[in-house]
Amino acid sequence: MPIPLESTLADIDWSLLWRNARKQKSWSSKGAADWDKKAESFASRNAGSCYSSLLLDKLPLTPDLTVLDMGSGPGTLAIPLAARVRSVTAVDYSSRMLEVLTRTAQEENIANISTIQGAWEDDWQQLGIGQHDIAIASRSLAVEDLAAALRKLNAIARKYVFIADRITPTPFDPGAFAAVGRDFQSGPDYIYTFNILYSLGIHPCIDILHLERDIVFANMDEAVQAYGWMLKDLSPKEEDALRGYLVSRIIHTAGKQITIRREHPPRWALIWWRKEITPEAC
């Protein structure tokens, strides 16, 4: 359909475009039960990533601050955050993710993290989340109503909001989809989030986080399992095709350990804003 000549940016319904793009995405959204099963392996893999340090280095952290980590997972951010602020509230809808987080905190003698099981769609007041100086949503905004989620996050923050959102095709590998004969549609990424914020009267800053291009797996089975998470419900034929694709991406081996070079290095957009009337320079 041609765009009317009189149209302006104000005529664009970014929330509608977000919902449309989600309907066309090739990947399946994961529920709490899916993440329960993934909790242990997810925690292990993220422990060796530079993602946490890259993001934490961008945050204005001081020992007197309280932080909300919405969609905390197994504590990828909450655990290292705890050493640098007064308290962290970690919220996730996966009970198993929170169990892993709590266990890790106990093992490391961290006592200033509280956990709440809850989702974006829940009543945050009933959950007892309360206001925090900094509100963070790190790679956790795969929601149906993005505008509503952004409003809630903004309302709960006293000083700053930080959102880490995907830059297409992160975290997916289009080559893997092609190898198994599946179409790849990325779904909405950070540009939708940015424009929805603009429509809400919020004008954020953006920093780009660049992650490692090479990824190490203990063996090929672990690599297939990790990639199978993004493809889901692989047939035996598709799994063989995926295994062949991963073999083609190997750049180094050490015993059974393999290093795979991704065609598209992962990139995340760190979208953030300050709550004061006078904005801080990006």
pLDDT tens, position by position, for the chain (282 residues)? 556 666 677 778 999 998 998 888 876 655 656 655 555 555 555 565 789 999 999 999 999 999 999 999 999 999 999 999 999 999 999 999 999 999 999 999 999 999 999 999 999 999 999 999 999 999 999 898 999 999 999 999 999 999 999 999 999 999 999 999 999 988 899 999 999 999 999 999 999 999 999 999 999 999 998 888 888 889 999 999 999 999 999 999 999 999 999 999 999 999 999 987 544 555
Q: What share of the chain is helix, strand, coil (3-state, %, to 5)?
A: 40, 20, 40
Q: At a CB cut-off of 8 Å and minimum separation 6, what does 267 contact?
A: 167, 170, 208, 209, 210, 211
CA–CA–CA angle 278, 281, 282 (5° rounding): 135
Please name the fold of domain 9-211+266-274.
Rossmann fold (3.40.50)
Q: At a CB cut-off of 8 Å and minimum separation 6, what does 272 contact?
A: 58, 160, 161, 162, 163, 204, 205, 206, 207
Q: What pLDDT, on the 0 to 100 scale, is given for residue 25?
A: 80
Q: What pLDDT, on the 0 to 100 scale, is given for residue 88?
A: 98
Burial class of residue 9 (count of CB atoms within 10 Å of its CB; 0-12, 13-18, 19+): exposed
Amino acid (1-letter code) at residue 124: W
Q: What pLDDT, on the 0 to 100 scale, is given for residue 48?
A: 59
Q: Return the domain boundaries, the chain.
A: 9-211+266-274
CA–CA–CA angle 43, 45, 46 (5° rounding): 65
Q: What pLDDT, on the 0 to 100 scale, is given for residue 232?
A: 80
Place of tokens 């073999």: 247
Q: What pLDDT, on the 0 to 100 scale, is given for residue 78?
A: 95
